[in-house]
Structure 1
Amino acid sequence: MGVDIREYKNNLRKKYRGWREALSPEEKRERDDRIFRRVIRCEAVQKADTVICFISTPIEVDTHRLIHYCWRHGKQVAVPKCLEQRGRMAFYLISSWEDVEVGKFSLLEPAPERCQKLTDMERSVCIVPGFSFDPQGYRLGFGKGYYDRFLSSYKGIKLGICYSACVAPKLPRGRFDVPVDFLLTEKYVKKI
């Protein structure tokens, strides 16, 4: 009898969610700060005109500081909006927090009526979220498939950000999963 891969992935999500929720605010801030410093020193980020980035929730590696950094340094910031078409996202340029609103899954998303849709992804880099990554660059996401679909056609450099305690030896993967190009944690940067 085979293993139910969905149950296995859900158990991994619970494990890594529990670890993240157990972090004290001080520990989280310190880890987030180390990851932030690694990200902004990354050559791909320094050279990019546009940073495609998720807006973090409390259990994710903080991206709010990175978004502010990009604005201050003249980089465009594009954030995802989940579309009605199942599993699809569009990215919109935001220039302030006034450009976002609570959207699908209670996530902060761009307000399309106030933002320009990102159509040119040349000279961009994508900051990729995940509950977990493995050393081969594969990720365990939140289970809805939005980033998997986007990454399958994204041609730019993909940076996965994650806490080192959430890096698994090997994650289950499907034939459509796409690895990131770099994995950044509070302890290291790994080129895949």
Structure 2
Amino acid sequence: MPVSDIRARKMELRRRCREFRQGLTEEKKRQMDGFILKRVQSLRQYRNERVILTYVSTSIEVDTRNLIEKALAAGKHVAVPRCVPGTREMEFYFIRSLDDLEPGAFGVLEPVPEKCRKLIDYSRGLCIVPGLGFDYAGYRLGYGKGYYDRFLSQFGGSTAGICYQGCVRWRLPHGRFDRAVDVLITEGYIRRTGLPR
């Protein structure tokens, strides 16, 4: 499939996923987020890892703020991303509470570097990966900026994609350097997609 066709298909898929998410009532979204949170907490990787890397959710994403608070309360070290200005790279910083965040790139809450310790070791941990959509093999449909694609190519720990079932497709277009998540979690199921780490 030509590159222009793949781009057009991805744009259409992104539009559909956004429409699905924007169509959820607050109550329905809260219920689905709760189911996803419980499934994340049930993962062996979540129970065994002390370091959890996670995005900070926006209004149309699967909620991670509750996850962050519960992980911190459980004594885990939680690191969240900050986009490096002028690049397509991101760094993760440990936070002690949601008060360590401020609006950053694209209006997303990011850690305040002066308040937080930078994560240096990317060889382990569990990374909760965002995506507008995923497919059954664990490949993600991102937002088109490439931040997570670059990061995941160098991350050595376990990965879990969280997504609403209505945004999961049988197969998504992806490149040979794209990395599938190890586990896909929706409100309805946990699907192990990769080899155990």
TM-score category (smaller protein): over 0.9
Amino acid in the other structure paired with 2:15: K
- Give 1:174 shift: 1.2
Task: Flag as ranges the 4+ runs of structure 1 deviating above 3 A.
Answer: none
Give the aligned length.
192
Q: Which residue of 2 aligns with 1:37?
A: 38
Quote the residue 1:61 is aligned against.
Answer: 62
Structure-2 residue corresponding to 1:112: 113
Q: Which amino acid aligns with 1:135?
A: Y
User: What is the alpha-carbon distance in structure 1 between the residues aligned to residue 111 and residue 169 of structure 2?
Assistant: 32
Aligned counterpart, 2:99: 98
In the alignment, structure 1 segments of 5+ residues that lack a partner are none
Amino acid of the residue matched to residue 110 of structure 2?
E
- Give CA-to-partner distance per residue, 1:74-110, whole Å, 9 cap, x none: 0000000011242100000000122110001110000
Shift of 1:120: 2.1
Separation in 1 of the partners of 2:165 and 2:41?
18
Q: Confirm whether residue 19 of structure 1 aligns to residue 23 of structure 2.
A: no
Q: Quick one: distance in 2 between partners of 1:123 and 1:49? A: 9
- What SS is found at the alignment partner of 2:169? coil
- TM-score, normalized by length of structure 2? 0.94
Q: Determine the structure 1 residue equivalent to 2:158.
A: 157
> Normalised by the size of structure 1, how large is the TM-score?
0.97
SS of alignment partner, residue 52 of structure 1: strand
Range that drifts further, 118-127 or 107-116: 118-127
1:42-191 equivalence runs, <5 A: 42-191=43-192
Deviation at 1:164, TM superposition (A): 0.7
Gaps of 5+ in 2: none
